[in-house]
A and B are shown apart, each in its own frame.
Chain A
Amino acid sequence: MAPPPASAVADAMNAPARPRDSQTNVDIMAVTKGFHWPWLLAFLFAVAGVLMALGALIYETYYGLGVAGYQAPVFWGVYIITFVFWIGIGHAGTLISAILFLFRAKWRNAINRGAETMTVFAVLTAALFPLIHIGRLWKFYFLLPYPNQRYLWVNFKSPLLWDVFAINTYLTISVLFFIVGLIPDIAVARDRAVGWKKAIYTIVAAGWQGTGKQWKAHNRAVLHLSGIATPLVLSVHSIVSWDFAMSIVPGWHATIFAPYFVAGAIFGGFAMVLVVMIPVRRIFRLERYITDYHFENMARFILFTSLICGYAYGAEYFIAWYSGVEPEQTSFWQRAFGPYWFSTWCMIIFNVVMPQLLWIKKLRTNIPFLFVLSFFINLGMWFERYVIIITSLSREYVPAAWGLYIPSTVELIVLSGSFCWFSMFFLLFLKIFPIIAISEVKELEIHARDHAQAQAQGGAH
Chain B
Amino acid sequence: MTTLVSVYDLPSDVSTVVRKLKSRGFEDLTTYSPAPFEEIEEAEDPKPSAVRLFTLIGGLTGVVTGFGIQIWMSMDWPIKIAGKNIAAIPPMWIIGFELTILFGGILTVLGLVILGGLYPRSLDEHYSPRFSAEEFGVVVRCEERDVAEVESLMRDNNAKEVTLAASH
Contacts and interface: CB of A to CB of B under 8 A. Distances in A.
A454 B59 CA distance: 42
Nearest to A215: B36
A224 B51 contact: yes
B64 interface: no
Contact of B164 (A5, A20, A202, A232): A5
B99 A213 contact: no
Contacts of B144: 1-2
Interface in A118-153: 145, 151-153
A376 B25 CA distance: 63
A215 B112 CA distance: 9
Interface stretch (A31-39, A172-180, A331-339): A172-180
A231 B93 CA distance: 14
Contacts of B2: 4
A192 interface: yes
Contacts of B33: 210-212, 215
A176 B91 contact: no
Interface in B1-33: 2, 4, 9-12, 18, 30-33
Interface string B133-168: 111000000001101100100010000011111010
A11 B163 contact: yes
Contacts of A216: 41, 44-45, 49, 115
Contacts of A225: 105, 108-109
B76 A151 contact: yes
A168 B163 CA distance: 50
Contact of A453 (B10, B116, B119, B128): B10
Contacts of B12: 450, 453-454, 461
B151 A214 contact: no
A446 B105 CA distance: 30
A385 to B, nearest CB: 21
Contacts of A169: 98-99, 101-102, 105
A179 B147 CA distance: 40
A239 to B, nearest CB: 6
A210 B121 contact: no
Given A19-B128, A191-B129, A210-B131, A2 B32 contact: no
A156 B30 contact: no
Given A166-B98, A216-B41, A209 B162 contact: no
A187 B32 CA distance: 13
B20 to A, nearest CB: 14
Interface stretch (A49-57, A275-283, A308-316, A436-444): A436-444
A41 interface: no
A165 interface: yes
A157 interface: yes
A221 B34 contact: no
Interface residues of B, number: 83
Contact of A172 (B9, B106, B165): B106
Contact of B117 (A187, A213, A454): A213
Identify which of B38, B95, B101, B102 gathers the most chain A CB atoms within 10 Å of its CB.
B101
Contacts of A235: 94, 97-98, 101
Contact of A224 (B55, B95, B155, B163): B55
Interface residues of A, number: 80
A418 to B, nearest CB: 25
Given A153-B76, A207-B123, A443-B36, A228 B118 contact: no
A156 B121 CA distance: 44
Given A25-B132, A224-B55, A210 B34 contact: yes
Contacts of A218: 36, 112, 116
A110 to B, nearest CB: 14
21 contacts: A8-B147, A19-B128, A157-B88, A169-B105, A172-B105, A188-B34, A188-B132, A210-B34, A210-B131, A213-B45, A213-B116, A219-B41, A220-B49, A228-B104, A229-B105, A235-B101, A442-B34, A443-B37, A446-B37, A449-B10, A461-B12
Given A154-B73, A215-B40, 13 more contacts: A4-B147, A21-B129, A156-B92, A157-B88, A172-B105, A206-B118, A210-B32, A210-B35, A212-B33, A220-B49, A220-B112, A449-B9, A453-B12
Interface of A: 1-2, 4-5, 7-9, 11-12, 15, 19-22, 24-25, 145, 151-157, 161-162, 165-166, 168-169, 172-173, 176-177, 179-180, 183-184, 187-188, 191-192, 202-203, 206-221, 224-225, 228-229, 231-232, 235, 239, 439-440, 442-443, 445-447, 449-450, 453-454, 461
Interface of B: 2, 4, 9-12, 18, 30-38, 40-41, 44-45, 48-49, 51-52, 55, 59, 69-70, 73-74, 76-77, 81-82, 84, 88, 91-92, 94-95, 97-99, 101-102, 104-106, 108-109, 111-113, 115-121, 123-124, 127-135, 144-145, 147-148, 151, 155, 161-165, 167
Which 6 residue pairs of A and B lie closest in terms of their CB atoms, listed nearest first? A191-B129, A153-B73, A220-B49, A443-B35, A8-B164, A212-B44
